[in-house]
Structure 1
Amino acid sequence: MSSSLRIRILISGLVGIVVATLAAVVLPAGPAAAHGNVTGPASRNYGCYERWGSKFQDPAMATADPMCWQAWQADPNTMWNWNGLFREGVAGNHQAAIPDGQLCSGGRTQGGRYNSLDAVGNWTPAPVGNTFNVRLFDGASHGADYIRVYVTKPGFDPVTTALKWSDLELVSQIGDTPAARWDAVTGGVQIDLPVALSGRTGRAMVYTIWQASHADQSYYFCSDVAFGGTSTPPVTTPPVTPPVSTSPTASPTTPAPPATGACSATYAVSSSWQGGYQGEVKVTAGSAAVKGWTVSLAYPGSQTIQQGWNATVAASGSTVTATNAGYNGALAAGASTTFGFIASGASAVPVATCNATV
C-alpha cells in the first residue's frame, strides 16, 4: 500500500470520528416533552434552552449568559430533558427529601444530572411586576394533585446566596386539578397561577412544586425574576380542592364559629406523613371590615413549626400564633383569606381563636 493511500485512509477515518462526535452532541429538535416545565417566568433550564438551544456551542454564551454556560458545559441534557427533575415517594414532605442548597436540582436527583441548576450566580432574570402569572406546561397531560408557588423573602439575593427552604414564602397554590381543566396548547396543556405581592423590588427567585396526578412524583422548578417589570392582571384559576391527605384517617377540622365577632378561624390538616403534617387555616372577617388579624391555635401538646406562609407563624409550647402578612390583613366584611404551615410531630385538633384589629 502506498504512503499516499495510507494517508487518505487515515484522514477518512479521522473525519468519520469527528462526524460521529459532532452527531453525539447535536440536541434533538425540541425538549423531551413527556412531562413539563415552568415556561413563565422561565425556569432555569427552560430559559437556557429557550435562549441558547439552537446555538448551545456558541462561545459568546460564556460571557453573555455565564450561568447557562456552566449548565450547558456540565450536562446539556439538563436543558432539554425535563423528565427526570422529580422525586418519587416524597408524600408531601418536600423539606425532608431535598436539603437546603439543592432545591433547584430536586435534591440532586437523577444521579446529579441537574446539579448545575443549584449553582449560585447571576442567572438571567425575567422582569416581573408585583402581580404576575406562573405558567406550567404539562406535555403528558398528567394534571396535578396540587401546585405550589413560592417566592423568596425580601432581602434574599440569588446572585450570592444558595436557596434554602427558610428563604421561601408560599404565595399561590391550587389543589386537585385534572388536565381536562387546563388550557389545551400544542404538545400538551398548560395552566396559569396568579401571584399578587406588594412593595417588592430587586432580584428574587420563584420556586414551583408540581405534584403530578399520575403517580407520587413531585417536580421542582427554580425561576429567576427581577421585580420592576410590568404587572400582569391575575388570571382566574380553577376552584381549589385541597390535596388529599396521606394519612389513613380523615383530616381533623374545627367547626367554623359563627362570624359574628371581629373574625373567625377554621382549621384543617390538608396533608400528613410520618413525623409531620401541613395545617391550613381559613380566616373570615365578621360583620365589619378588619385591618388585621391574629389567630391562636391551642394544641393539646407542644408543636414545632418548620415553615409558614401567608402569615408570620410561630410556636410557643402548645400554642401556635399566626399574624397576617402585609398583603392579607385587611379584609372586607365577610371576606376570607388563608394561611398555612408545616409542623413536626403528629397532627391534632387545636382550639382556634381569632382576634382582629378593626
Structure 2
Amino acid sequence: MSTTLAARRRAAISALIVAVASVLLLTTALAKIADAHGNIVSPASRNYGCWQRWGSDFQNPAMATQDPMCWQAWQADPQAMWNWNGLFREGVAGNHQGAIPDGQLCSAGRTQGGRYNAMDTVGDWKAQSIGNNFSVKLYDQASHGADYIRVYVTKQGYNPITQPLGWGNLELVGQIGNTPAAQWTPESAGGVSIQVGGTASGRTGRHIVYTIWQASHLDQSYYFCSDVTFGGVTPSQSASPSAPASPSASPSPSRPPSPSPSASPSPSSSPPPPGGCAATYALTGQWPGGFQGEVKVTAGSSAITKWTVTVTWTNGQQITNAWNATVTTSGSTATAKSVAHNSALSAGASTTFGFLGSYTGSANGAPTLTCSPS
C-alpha cells in the first residue's frame, strides 16, 4: 500500500470519528433540552401523581375503579404521563390570565397540541392531605432556576370535584422572586429542587393548589394543578423525586386503544339561525364502560344571553359528571343549561361544556343535539 493511500485512509477514518463524535454530542445536547423541565412533586401535580402511582402498571384495568381520573387521563394520552414535563407555554410575558382561559388552567391552555387536556377533567382526583401552613416542592431537572414561583389555592366554597377551575377561584398564598438554581437543593436524581411556603387560612376539605413557575432560561411559564385536602398533617417533603420517564419513552403497543381523533360530531352542524344557536359533539376520550365528551355551542348571527342544549342518546349512555354547564338527566335525554360565566355569547361566538359519561356494551354512538337560546 502506498504511503499516500494509507494517509488518505487515516484521514478518512479520523473524519469519520469526528463526525460520529459530533452526532453523539448533538444527540446528548438535544436529550438535555428535551429533559430540561420540571414538575411539582409534593403535593404531586395531577400527571406526576398518576405517573408515580401507575407508571409501571398503566395497563392495569383496576385503575378504572381505583383511580378513575388517572384512568381517563392515561386513556386520553399516555404521553401526558410519561412526558410529565411539558406543561408550559412560551412568550406569555406574565399575562397568564390572558394566555389561559378559565377551565383550561390544569392543561396550561391545552398546550402541546392538546396532550394535557385530560388534566382539566373535573372529577374526584386523588388528593393529598396537607396542613393550612404548607409548602410545595418544585423539582427542576435542568437546573434553570426561577424568575418567580407563585402558589395559589382555591377559595373556600370551591369544589374541584364538580367545578372547572377558573382564575376567579384562586387566591395567591405564597411566592418567591428571582432565585438562581445555585440556591436550590441538589437532588440525587439530578437537577435541583426548591420549596415554596404557603398559608391557606380558613381552608377545609378539598381544594386545588395551583403553581406557576416562571423559569429563568427562557420566557417559559409552567403550570401545575395539585389536588389536596386541608385539615390533615403536612407530609414530609424531604424525599427525592423519582427519576422521570424518558421523554421518548413509548408505552407498550398493547395498551388500551386511544380515543379516535375522528369521533363523529353530532348531526347538529348546520349554521345556527339568527338569534339562535347550534351545538356540535366531539368524543374526546373513551375507555371500557366510560367516556369523555365535549359539546361546542355557537351563537347565530345575533347575540344570545343564555342557551340550553338537549342531548339525546341512542345507546343508553348516561352523563355522570359535567362542567361549564348545569346538566339534568331524564331517561335517554340530558339537558345542559349555560352557567354564569358562559351564558352570554356575541354573534358567531362559541363556548364549550364537557362531561364524563358511562355506556354499556360496545356501542357508544354520538347523540342528537338541539340548541335553543333559552
Give TM-score scaled by structure 1 length: 0.55
- 2:176 is matched by which residue type in structure 1? I
1:272-287 correspondence to structure 2 within 5 Å: none
Show the counterpart of 1:207. 210
* Equivalent-residue separation in structure 2 for 1:81 and 1:153 (angstroms): 30
- 1:80 is matched by which residue type in structure 2? W
Would you say the 8 A contact 2:185–2:193 is kept in 1?
yes
- 1:217 is matched by which residue type in structure 2? Q
Name the CA shift for 1:180/1:227 in 2 (closer, same or farther; >3 Å). Answer: same
* Equivalent-residue separation in structure 1 for 2:113 and 2:212 (angstroms): 20
* Equivalent-residue separation in structure 2 for 1:98 and 1:207 (angstroms): 13
Deviation string, structure 1 residues 236-280 (Cα, Å, up to 9, x no partner): xxxxxxxxxxxxxxxxxxxxxxxxxxxxxxxxxxxxxxxxxxxxx
Show the counterpart of 2:175. 173
Would you say the 8 A contact 2:143–2:181 is kept in 1?
yes
Q: 1:232: Cα distance to partner? A: 6.3
Name the CA shift for 1:232/1:56 in 2 (closer, same or farther; >3 Å). Answer: closer
Q: Percent identity?
A: 71
Show the counterpart of 1:47. 49
* Equivalent-residue separation in structure 1 for 2:166 and 2:219 (angstroms): 23
Name the CA shift for 1:56/1:232 in 2 (closer, same or farther; >3 Å). Answer: closer
Q: 1:129: Cα distance to partner? A: 1.0
Would you say the 8 A contact 2:155–2:203 is kept in 1?
no
* Equivalent-residue separation in structure 1 for 2:198 and 2:184 (angstroms): 18
Query: Which has the larger displacement, 50-59 or 222-231?
Result: 222-231
Would you say the 8 A contact 1:131–1:232 is kept in 2?
no
Any unmatched runs of 5+ in structure 1? 1-31, 236-358
Q: Does 1:225 align with 2:228?
A: yes
RMSD of aligned alpha carbons: 1.6
Any unmatched runs of 5+ in structure 2? 1-33, 239-374
- Moved >4 Å (runs of 4+): 232-235
Query: Which has the larger displacement, 223-232 or 159-168?
Result: 223-232
* Equivalent-residue separation in structure 2 for 1:68 and 1:234 (angstroms): 23
Deviation string, structure 1 residues 156-188 (Cα, Å, up to 9, x no partner): 000000000000000000010000000000221
1:51-200 correspondence to structure 2 within 5 Å: 51-186=53-188, 187-200=190-203
Give TM-score scaled by structure 2 length: 0.53
* Equivalent-residue separation in structure 1 for 2:36 and 2:147 (angstroms): 18
- 1:110 is matched by which residue type in structure 2? Q
Would you say the 8 A contact 1:194–1:234 is kept in 2?
no
* Equivalent-residue separation in structure 2 for 1:159 and 1:233 (angstroms): 26
